[in-house]
């Protein structure tokens, strides 16, 4: 695909950052509307890496979610439902243990499942969305890696804020280990697609956890809420509190 075509079609991209992982010719940037967008460093008539079309869910016409699931989960002892896909068992619930629920967005399962995976030695790190500790940066939240239960707990709760995965996936490529990742469905599909092209990521990302996602927000959403209580755009800061 030529750069010109990519630039015309990218407004439909899920903007997860995977394109920037497969090609150094692409960088992720927050645009003027507060959404992440791919910026291509090449000229319009130049041709992009062919993997780009494959790894981005909204560009990829080769595979859909069912194709990916077939390859990963199809088995005689796994059930299949046309609407849900493959499953072993289905539950609805919330965490009873400790203060996971009160510190979570919903029932706390998102955080608890990672704590269990780490404590039972199935993983070395959790890739999730955390407060940006660089307070000089206008970016409030970003994907990062937690390697202790305390860090996992501090990263709980939903961030209705734009995020992308290019930097963190590059770190996973560089730093050996077993990882679990959480994301909205389009991002998890992008992770699955890039894993089909990248053996290192495939071998290191052991677990994916999908969040229900009815909507995404630009960075202006938080600013808009804060402005209503007197905090002007640009002055909003984050402070994470974990209750014990």
**Residue ranges that bind ligand FAD, judged by CB under 6 A:** 104-111, 128-129, 155-160, 163, 182-184, 211-216
CB of 2 to ligand FAD, least distance (A): 31
Residue nearest to ligand FAD (CB): 214
Smallest separation, CB 216 to ligand FAD (Å): 5
Distance between CA 159 and CA 164 in Å, rounded? Answer: 12
Choose between 48 and 109: whose C-beta lies nearer to ligand FAD.
Answer: 109
Smaller CB distance to ligand FAD: residue 131 or 196? 131
Q: Where are the beta strands (DSSP E) in the chain?
A: 26-30, 36-40, 79-81, 85-87, 125-131, 141-146, 179-183, 205-210
Write down the least CB distance from residue 80 to ligand FAD, Å: 24
Q: Which two tokens stand for residue 181?
A: 């990742």
The H or E element spanning position 222 is helix 219-228
- Pick between residue 40 and residue 201 the one whose CB is nearest to ligand FAD: 201
Nearer to ligand FAD, 160 or 224 (CB): 160
For ligand FAD, give the closer residue by CB, 107 or 177: 107
Q: How far is CA 115 from CA 24, 80, 90, 93, 211, in A?
A: 34, 28, 20, 17, 17
| 121 CB-side CA count, 13 A | 0
């Amino acid at each position: 695909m030529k750069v010109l075509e990519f630039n015309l079609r990218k407004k439909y991209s899920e903007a997860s950052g995977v394109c920037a992982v497969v090609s150094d010719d692409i960088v992720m940037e927050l645009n003027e509307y507060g959404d992440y967008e791919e910026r291509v460093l090449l000229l319009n008539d130049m041709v992009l890496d062919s993997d780009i079309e494959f790894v981005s869910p909204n560009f990829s016409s080769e595979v859909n979610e069912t194709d990916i699931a077939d390859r990963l989960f199809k088995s005689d002892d796994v059930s299949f439902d046309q609407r849900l896909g493959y499953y072993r068992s289905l539950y609805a619930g919330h965490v009873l243990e400790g203060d996971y629920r009160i510190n979570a967005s919903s029932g706390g399962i998102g955080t608890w499942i990672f704590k269990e995976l780490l404590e039972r030695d199935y993983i070395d790190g959790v890739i999730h969305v955390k407060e940006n500790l660089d307070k000089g940066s206008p970016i409030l939240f970003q994907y990062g890696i937690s390697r202790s239960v305390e860090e996992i707990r501090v990263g709980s709760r939903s961030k209705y804020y734009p995020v992308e995965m290019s930097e963190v996936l590059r770190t996973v490529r560089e730093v050996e280990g077993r990882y679990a990742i959480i994301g909205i469905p389009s991002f998890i599909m992008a992770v699955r697609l890039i894993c089909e092209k990248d053996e290192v990521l495939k071998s290191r990302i052991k677990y994916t956890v999908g969040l229900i996602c009815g909507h995404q927000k630009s960075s202006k959403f938080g600013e808009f809420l804060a402005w209503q209580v007197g905090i002007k755009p640009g002055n909003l800061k984050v402070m994470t509190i974990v209750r014990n």
